[in-house]
Amino acid sequence: MVWPDEEGQWQRLIFEAARNGARHFVLNAPWQAGLFKDAASLNLTAGPFCNAANRAALAVLRSMGFFAAIVSPEISGPDILGLPGQSCLPLGIIMDGFWPVGISRYGRQGIKPDTVLTSPKGEPFWTRRYGGNTWIYPGWPLDLAAKRQELEQAGYTTFVHIREHLPEGLEPRRTTLFNWEVGLL
C-alpha cells in the first residue's frame, strides 16, 4: 500500500531500482503506474490487489501499460480457469500462502503485531506491520497446489507463493481454496 504522503519516497526508490537495472515491478493499485517515469521500458505487472477479475479490467490494465497481471484470488474456480482464454495479458495467480483478510493504515490499540488473536468462533488471526500498514491475516493459508495442472492447462504462466513468518504459537490446522468452490454471490 502506498499512501499519498509516501509517493515521493516511492518514486525515489523506483528511480534508484531502475537505474540499478531492475526492470520487473509488481504494482498493487493501477494508479501506481504513474509513479514510473519511463514505464514503457519496464515490465509492470498488475498485482493481486488490483483485483483483475474479468476481460474488461485486464484490457484497462493493458491500456495503462501493464505487461502482465496476477488475478484476484477472490473469484471462483470456474472464473479463474476461464480468464486466460479471454485475457489480453499473460496471467499469474497466487498458489499458496497467507492472503490477508484486511489491510489498515491504522493499527488497533492494544493489539500487538505477531500475536495470535482468536475470534469468537475460535478462529486464529494475527497482524503484522509493514511500513505504515497493519496487515490482518487468518491463521490458515490459501493452498491451490492441487489445482496447478488445471491452472497450467488454462494458460497461467506465473505462480506466486507468499511466504510469511508465522507468529509464535500459531500452527495452521487447515488450508483453504478461498472462493474456488463457492465464488462470490
Give the pLDDT score at 142.
Answer: 96
Q: Domains of the chain by range and CATH?
A: 4-98+141-161 (3.20.20.60)
What is the C-alpha to C-alpha distance for residues 130 and 103, in angstroms, rounded to an integer? Answer: 10
Predicted local distance difference test score (pLDDT) of residue 166: 94
Helix H, strand E, coil C: the string for 28-89 is CCHHHHHHCCCHHHCEEEECHHHCCCCHHHHHHHHHCCEEEEECCCCCCHHHHHHCHHHCCC
Helix (H, G, I), strand (E, B) or coil at 92: strand
From first CA to last CA, the distance across the chain in angstroms is 27
**pTM (2 d.p.):** 0.90
**Nearest Cα to 3, choosing from 101, 128, 105?**
105
What is the pLDDT tens value at each position of the chain, 185 positions in all?
787 788 899 999 999 999 999 999 999 999 999 999 888 889 999 999 999 999 999 999 999 999 999 998 889 999 999 999 999 999 999 999 999 998 888 766 777 889 898 999 999 999 998 888 889 999 999 999 999 999 999 999 999 999 999 999 899 999 999 899 885 55
CA gap 152, 149 in Å, rounded: 5
